[in-house]
Amino acid sequence: MRLEDRVCLVTGGAMGIGQATAARFAEEGASVVICDVNEERGQRTAAGLGPQAAFYAVDVTDRQAVQGWVDDVVARFGRIDVLVNNAGITRDSQLVKFKEGQVVSQMSEDNFDLVVAVNLKGVFNCAQAVVPAMIQGGGGVILNASSVVGLYGNFGQTNYVATKSGVIGMTRVWARELGRYNIRVNAVAPGFILTDMVRQMPEKVLEKMRGRTPLGRLGDPHDIADTYLFLASDEARFITGAVIQVDGGLVLGT
């Protein structure tokens, strides 16, 4: 019961890594509050976590909605101990695709802005909203979802890589700024993880992913959830400003 009596927030908690993290935290005694834009899946996930869990329909790009969510959680539960900034999206395409002397496609400004809004600004919105409650409660833990592509880059992911690199930068800044308040801030950088979305990819693509991973398999959402659990617990009490790769030794290529 490593998170007993703690109130933990998980963004994007309806599915995938967020859902696995919420379940793992609940198993360890936490009161888990998830938010997501998928209300049906979010309600179902929260119902499976027990009576101490709650779901809120929140778009992390909406600053007022995020603040309202956090204020309501504090009023309802009395404190916030852990925030997992898990919500994220992809909108992949090349910066410029050139064929036979002409530009045939390029990443749209709308898709660049949308990914930045969710993956980077959303992390900023949620962290800034919870920090005052954590300070008043004597401390806390903020865990940010980055990616190995934020460290090494990846073909066709200018927008996504920019956000995941930015998350690492914000993590290190906040670790410096918030340590005096007993708030630890760390990032987790997953490799290829077998979420429901990834399972729908063609088998030849999955096999290529496995071939790049020295451990010979794709990650499971629970591999990431267990890492979040460790970082949220007192076992990681002297870890802050870190970026933990959970990738099976992944070697990225183009």
Active-site residues: which are they? 160
- Tokens 């938010």 belong to 35
Cα-based distances in Å from 243 to 78, 88, 144, 240: 30, 17, 9, 9
Token pair of 185, please?
């801030």
Q: Would you say 213 and 194 are in contact if contact means Cβ atoms under 8 Å apart?
A: no
Give the Cα separation of 16 and 198 in Å (integer). Answer: 10
Residue 79 CA, distance from chain mean position: 21
State the amino acid at position 124 in one-letter form: F
Strand order in the sheet with 183-190: 54-57, 31-36, 7-11, 82-85, 140-145, 183-190, 243-246
Token pair of 187, please?
């990032």
